[in-house]
Structure 1
Amino acid sequence: MASSMAEEDPTGSTATGNVKGWYGRKGRAVALLALLNDDGAYLDWAVSWAKALAALEIPEDDTSLRSRLQRMATVYDWLYDRMSAEDRAAIRTGLVAYVEALRDWGYIQDPGYIGGHERWGYAVFAMGLIALHGDYDEADELLQQCRGHIAEGFYPAQAWIADDGGYHMGWAYSASYTNFDLPYLVWTVGTNDVLLDDWIAETGDWYLYGMRGDDLFPQAGDAFSIGLSLGSINSIYAAGIGKRGQARWFIEEKLEPTSNPLLQLLVWDDAVESVAPTELPKGRLFQNAGLVVARDGWDGGTTHFTFKSGAFFSTNHHHRDENTFTLHYQTPLAIDSGYYDQYGTSHWRNYFTRTIAHNGIVVFDPSQSMTLYGDEVSNDGGQLFNSEPRTLADIAPGGSASLDGIVRYENREELTYAWGDATKAYDPARVTLAQREVAFLRATTATHPVTVLFDRVTSSSAALQKRFVLHTVEQPTTTGPLMAAEHGAGRLTSLTLYPTDAQLSLVGGVGQEFWVDGQNYPLDPNGAEGDPADKGIVPGGWRLEVTPGQASTEDYFLHVLFVDDAGATAVPADEAVLLEHSGSLGVQVAGWVVVFPRSSGGASAVDYQLQIGGTYQHLVAGFTPGQTVTASVGGTSQGNVVVGDGGCAVFEVTAGAGEAIGVH
């Protein structure tokens, strides 16, 4: 890396143009080599590079400003004693000018702690001031300002969101905003004032569990990439500081072992042994980030399911995607559609960030006007953009941006279950209830895991049409209640069991790939993020919409999802059987009986009947976690069942068709 960069002209456009990413890291590597050895060529190159950056006109955009300041500060701090007084003065002049320019930005004067640029701004602001300490009269006062905002603002908010390792922005921007080199490592190394904490090690699991069978992450949030290298910095910390053997396995087996060599040099611990993740639980909850990941293995044949139901609202790189899911087997099958062509494009504002682009529920009011940053955007019937939260108090329970998120979660060897409540993500004048329960069944009589989805949706008016939305890559086929879509080596089949009068329709194809309320919002051909195919991202182009046959304020949706190899025998419509009771809805499928109470508050007792008699595993949801219930068949007790952490009673009984089953 460093040797190839040193061959570039340090004052040329390649070396000084875009120093945020690859060329900036390569330039830093040259500076590190100059620090570690006596090679004068590296020293001369790094100093010339920093002087060239210092001489550039201060840019109007904060990304370029921050990036140049970061690179100059690194060279000035590391090579201070190796450069001439004249060179120090030239770089110092630029550093001071950039620090003072950044100081005048609004997010330095009055930062919010949840979004993105403020965090990066303060991290780089601190780097510049640390480098200038002793050479700039205002450095002490401004460093105390940095310390206050980092330790009392940014840090507590991030520690709460990522308490168990997750982050609300998906895998791409989460890498940018949870990695430990900025600002925590910089501050700790620069001041000996330790801010690093255990949650950063937990983020290694965010990337481990996010890894699909094709060694990519799901597209989630503003995904500028889905490559596994996104997780390198967090995994290095998790392995070196957190002593996580699985994180070392991830680095050595899934990444280049030399990923981020500077960080490995600082924190690597050879005593930590590589441990494959095969013994880890196959389900994981990231509570405050609002994500559940369920899988059935860790190899290329893994079925990988994600369920998103966030604990809070925010706008920055955070989509309107509460109570939505993705599903991958062999290839992406149920996808987050669209593409991060560039922040703020028409596609981004009107489609990509919106609920309609995700596998969720929309409730359409044709008279509604929706806005983002004060500008009118498409009416997709989905969740709203609200004011950006600024502090931990805003997003924590009871805060102005708080959502209910994942209210129940349970993981067992044979299944992963979750219950999300996204009601507060919609406006109450239109939607008064939006709950989704999911059951990912691993141990089934089917070849692959089976996923059951149950939605409770209540609108303020029966005239507001509710739609269950499911996105695929290729054009699906529909036959009665079945939808099937192949993509590459995989196939997704969706079976709509409820409403029994549901109407299935397809939207998509040329000119309607990203269709919202009568208009298509295609990718911007000039978008800065380039071609999605170059990143392994599939934007999709088709979706299934399921609507109730009869208008009602209160509706339920019950779906079963099957994954198979492309070309496998088609899933028949009777592969899953509806169980309908006045107080519950359920399904018999693949050796399981899965039952949900109709009530949005759960139930103290659930009754149902089988359509096909036999011995089945039963999952009955909605009870109080930890309570003891009794399962009965035909009025005869079959024994007591201790309800799990997520409110699920799981047991095996034998019953005949039509025979009453009660869980009380």
Structure 2
Amino acid sequence: MLQQQILTLLFINCIIALLLCQNAQAGPTLYLPDSPIAGHPRLFLNNTLIETAKQRSQTDMKEYYQWIYSRAKMLAGESDHAQDHGIEAAETALVYLITEKPEFFDTAKKLLKASIKFYRLCDENNKVVNWFSTSRINAICAYDWLYNSLSLSERKSMGLDLLTHTASVQPVFGQKLKGRNYSDHSDGFYGTRSLAWYAGIAFYKEGIDDALALKFINQGYKDYIKMLEYRKNLAQDDGGLSSYSLNYEMGACPWAEFNFFHTLKSAYGIDMADKWPYMGLWVNYILWNRLPGNRWFGSGDAYHETNRLPEWQSYTHLAQIQHFYSAGYPDYSALAAWLGTKFEKQKFVNTWPAVPFLLSNKQKPKAPEEFIFPKARHFESLGQIFMHSGWGDEDTFVQFTSGGNVKMHKHFDENSFCIFAGGFLALDSGSRPEPGSHLSHYYSRTIAHNSILIHMPGEKMPKYWSAGFAPGEPVLPVPNDGGQNQYTGSRLAAFETCDEYSYAAGDATGVYNPEKCALFLRQILFIPPRHIVIFDRVESQKFGQKKTWVLHTARKPEIQGRIFKADHESGRMFCQTLIPEKAQISCVGGTEPFQSGGRNWPLPDDFKIPNNHELLGQWRIEVSPSNNKRETFFLHVIEAGQAKNLKQAHPASLISENRMTGVKFKSQNREVSVFFALTGEAAGHIRITEQNKIIDRPLTNKVQKQSGLAIDTENISDNGQ
């Protein structure tokens, strides 16, 4: 066994050396000292930080400490059979460092040995330990934290096992084990690649394989810097990380940055967070996603069970922002503190047991109303625009998707929109069973979103990631829903926001099959407090290719002529079709709400969410022209607000001016007229009259610049002059 491990390390050593040579020019310059601090611990903790943890365990962190202490006591009864106990081993090792009681050392060592045994068995049988590296990094931490109390032989044998496992799961010349997560700097970076940094620090200059450990340090450092650069470029001056879905943005993704910052500090004494302020600005993205009741629309691969913001780790993530950015970016920290108060679970998680003891600089909360925010915010890389009438529980919120470049867990949903006002009135439909064809054959598709379908018989639709078909499901190809075939590739043609309105235009032509789509240009205008105007220009390549305008609702809509009404919770929406003038309006759903390609794609019977759950979108409205000419226009006016304030739809009339088509309606005491160009680039005109105040100006053809928490209002004045 020992000889085999040594040969494995020698082989991997050569591979890592080759990888380092290949990446030498592309990688960042290393500014690390020659080696980590002498002695142990080094990962998250060092001797100084242990003393801090001891003090805080009896003061402000007493509740958290008592929780992990009680868990460590219970873990004494665990067997030493091969099982992954990485997190539990780290928890118990931490309690040992704080208490110095031998019973916790014995338990932690037993759990660590059981984990190592499990990793070794997985390697020997070509099995995957876990999609995430979390437990294994924690096991390495447990080794590091127990190091000073281990015998020399235990240090060598356990260290060799952990280092060998780390080496054996690195990607080698493209050979990959199915189910193993090799995610790199452009993904979640919580797979096997992330192990290198921690293993290198823990085992360097311990006489096991110092050369390989140093290579792991260098490779790990390069990978983390690459990740920071990549995510910084995505966040730009807006905020947001590497995933289209908050399940990941507020789940495992942020740990990569935060843990790197913590271990640089503990092992090298380097404070690096202030060089990467995008992690503080991340709070801006969370804020704009947030809806009343601490919910969100559920973009990308969300479950749509409650649509509540992810609870489990969010409080800890927000505390990290306060810790790292309170000095240099106090507004980020104060806003993070306010968001932290909105979660029911205001407790730290034990995913990384030592981290809560490292977090300080708790800030005084500062609510959004204390800032000067715009009425809309554009997140460029994520391709999302959020519009609202205010931050209150009875305000109206709109999300529009266009022009991003992030693909992680994104759907075929360009130029789609969602609306919330007292409830989810226009929503993304479906959920993500694993396994189950519902995810790959319906939920990820354009038909499950509020966008446009262009039907071309015989079109083969692209695949989407999937855990396969559920037991008993027929194995069928992806249906032709008439939707998009690219996640990204649309272009945001225009965006502006002011107190009176917010406007965006998206050209999604590039995300459809070019054999069917010559143009899909959507212009969306939100006029607070509750009017949304949507104008679509759709041109197919051939006569006869049917176009369908889609809007999903939680409950069954009531159709009366060209107007339909849909309620959810305390909210209500009226939607009026003005163009096509001879529209075919139909309602799809009920017992078969997830229809696409001529059949329903239900959730598996054993899935945690039933098929009739309202937040999955039980119904959809489909609007099509009476003929299938190449060019089709759609013009809709939506009112969304509290049902108590919306007894009936307010009149909206079709108007025209200067070869543009448009709509006229009243919004509170204002007369509103909006016009849209029928040809050329996205263009139009808006006129709002209220007493002596008049807005009368073209809709912009530029994308308004925004930065940080505020807005650049250059070239946009109150009177439009």
Q: TM-score, normalised by structure 1?
A: 0.81
CA drift at 1:161: 1.5
Equivalent position of 2:71 in the other structure: 5
Name the CA distance, whole Å, in 2 between partners of 1:533 and 1:185: 44
CA 1:99–1:25: 2 relative to 1, 3 Å: closer
Equivalent position of 2:248 in the other structure: 173
CA contact (8 A) 2:199 2:216 kept: no
CA drift at 1:567: 6.1
Name the CA distance, whole Å, in 1 between partners of 2:319 and 2:611: 28
CA contact (8 A) 1:473 1:541 kept: yes
Name the CA distance, whole Å, in 2 between partners of 1:44 and 1:405: 59
Output the amino acid matched with 2:187.
G
CA drift at 1:330: 2.0
Equivalent position of 1:397 in the other structure: none
The DSSP-based 3-state class of the residue aligned with 2:341 is: helix
**Taking every aligned residue pair, what percent have the same amino acid on both sides?**
24
CA drift at 1:454: 1.8
Name the CA distance, whole Å, in 2 between partners of 1:108 and 1:200: 33
Q: Deviations over 1:213-248 (max 9, x none)?
A: 121222111125743425434422332323321111
Equivalent position of 1:128 in the other structure: 199
Output the amino acid matched with 1:312.
N
1:54 to 85, 96, 116: 116
Q: Deviations over 1:229-268 (max 9, x none)?
A: 2543442233232332111111134354433485454343
Equivalent position of 1:329 in the other structure: 421
CA drift at 1:471: 0.6
CA 1:49–1:129: 2 relative to 1, 3 Å: same
Name the CA distance, whole Å, in 2 between partners of 1:258 and 1:15: 32
1:545 to 607, 616, 622: 622
2:634 to 557, 560, 578: 557
Equivalent position of 1:394 in the other structure: none
Q: Deviations over 1:161-194 (max 9, x none)?
A: 2222124422111223244335554456445566
CA contact (8 A) 1:286 1:292 kept: yes
CA contact (8 A) 1:222 1:317 kept: yes
Name the CA distance, whole Å, in 2 between partners of 1:188 and 1:149: 17
Output the amino acid matched with 1:147.
Y
CA contact (8 A) 2:455 2:545 kept: yes
CA 1:600–1:36: 2 relative to 1, 3 Å: farther
Equivalent position of 1:655 in the other structure: none
Asked whether 1:34 is paired with 2:93, we answer: no
Range moving further from structure 2, 415-424 or 78-87: 78-87
CA 1:17–1:355: 2 relative to 1, 3 Å: farther
Name the CA distance, whole Å, in 1 between partners of 2:429 and 2:79: 36
Equivalent position of 1:143 in the other structure: 217
Asked whether 1:258 is paired with 2:356, we answer: no
CA RMSD, Structure 1 to Structure 2 (Å): 3.6
Q: Where does structure 1 lack aligned partners over 5 or more consecutive residues?
A: 387-400, 443-447, 628-643, 653-662
CA drift at 1:569: 5.0
Equivalent position of 1:583 in the other structure: 659
CA contact (8 A) 2:382 2:406 kept: no
Name the CA distance, whole Å, in 1 between partners of 2:495 and 2:102: 59
CA 1:626–1:542: 2 relative to 1, 3 Å: closer
CA contact (8 A) 1:16 1:49 kept: no
Equivalent position of 1:220 in the other structure: 299
Equivalent position of 1:358 in the other structure: 449
CA contact (8 A) 2:534 2:637 kept: yes
Asked whether 1:371 is paired with 2:462, we answer: yes
Q: TM-score, normalised by structure 2?
A: 0.75
Name the CA distance, whole Å, in 2 between partners of 1:537 and 1:53: 42
Q: Deviations over 1:432-458 (max 9, x none)?
A: 22222222222xxxxx42222222222
Alignment length (residue pairs): 601
CA drift at 1:99: 0.6
The DSSP-based 3-state class of the residue aligned with 2:581 is: coil
Output the amino acid matched with 1:173.
Y
Name the CA distance, whole Å, in 2 between partners of 1:275 and 1:76: 41
CA 1:269–1:312: 2 relative to 1, 3 Å: same
Name the CA distance, whole Å, in 1 between partners of 2:129 and 2:383: 30
CA 1:560–1:3: 2 relative to 1, 3 Å: farther
1:594 to 654, 661, 674: 674
Output the amino acid matched with 1:334.
A
Alignment of 1:40-119 (within 5 A): 40-56=102-118, 57-58=121-122, 60-61=127-128, 63-64=130-131, 66-104=133-171, 113=184, 116=187, 119=190
1:290 to 383, 407, 426: 383
CA contact (8 A) 1:170 1:221 kept: yes
CA contact (8 A) 1:58 1:65 kept: no
1:468 to 541, 545, 549: 549
Equivalent position of 1:522 in the other structure: 602
The DSSP-based 3-state class of the residue aligned with 2:169 is: helix
Equivalent position of 2:50 in the other structure: none
The DSSP-based 3-state class of the residue aligned with 1:159 is: helix
Name the CA distance, whole Å, in 2 between partners of 1:576 and 1:18: 63
Asked whether 1:249 is paired with 2:338, we answer: yes
Name the CA distance, whole Å, in 1 between partners of 2:412 and 2:261: 30
Name the CA distance, whole Å, in 2 between partners of 1:13 and 1:304: 52
Name the CA distance, whole Å, in 2 between partners of 1:600 and 1:7: 71
CA contact (8 A) 1:620 1:649 kept: no
Name the CA distance, whole Å, in 1 between partners of 2:640 and 2:161: 58
Asked whether 1:408 is paired with 2:494, we answer: yes
Name the CA distance, whole Å, in 2 between partners of 1:476 and 1:101: 56
Name the CA distance, whole Å, in 1 between partners of 2:445 and 2:185: 20
The DSSP-based 3-state class of the residue aligned with 1:144 is: helix
Name the CA distance, whole Å, in 1 between partners of 2:369 and 2:716: 25
CA 1:65–1:420: 2 relative to 1, 3 Å: closer
Name the CA distance, whole Å, in 2 between partners of 1:246 and 1:64: 33
Asked whether 1:301 is paired with 2:381, we answer: no
Q: Where does structure 2 lack aligned partners over 5 or more consecutive residues?
A: 1-66, 466-475, 705-711
Alignment of 1:229-240 (within 5 A): 229=311, 231-240=314-323
The DSSP-based 3-state class of the residue aligned with 1:217 is: coil
The DSSP-based 3-state class of the residue aligned with 1:273 is: coil
Asked whether 1:318 is paired with 2:410, we answer: yes
Output the amino acid matched with 1:383.
Q
Q: Which has the higher strand share?
A: 1
CA drift at 1:373: 6.3
The DSSP-based 3-state class of the residue aligned with 1:428 is: coil
Equivalent position of 1:660 in the other structure: none
Equivalent position of 2:28 in the other structure: none
Name the CA distance, whole Å, in 2 between partners of 1:232 and 1:310: 31
Q: Deviations over 1:331-357 (max 9, x none)?
A: 222111101222x63111101111111
Output the amino acid matched with 1:473.
A
Range moving further from structure 2, 550-559 or 225-234: 225-234
CA contact (8 A) 2:587 2:620 kept: yes
Name the CA distance, whole Å, in 2 between partners of 1:613 and 1:200: 42
CA 1:190–1:302: 2 relative to 1, 3 Å: farther
Asked whether 1:485 is paired with 2:566, we answer: yes
Equivalent position of 2:505 in the other structure: 419
CA 1:263–1:9: 2 relative to 1, 3 Å: closer
Output the amino acid matched with 1:246.
L
Name the CA distance, whole Å, in 2 between partners of 1:199 and 1:626: 22
CA 1:648–1:499: 2 relative to 1, 3 Å: farther
Name the CA distance, whole Å, in 1 between partners of 2:443 and 2:461: 15
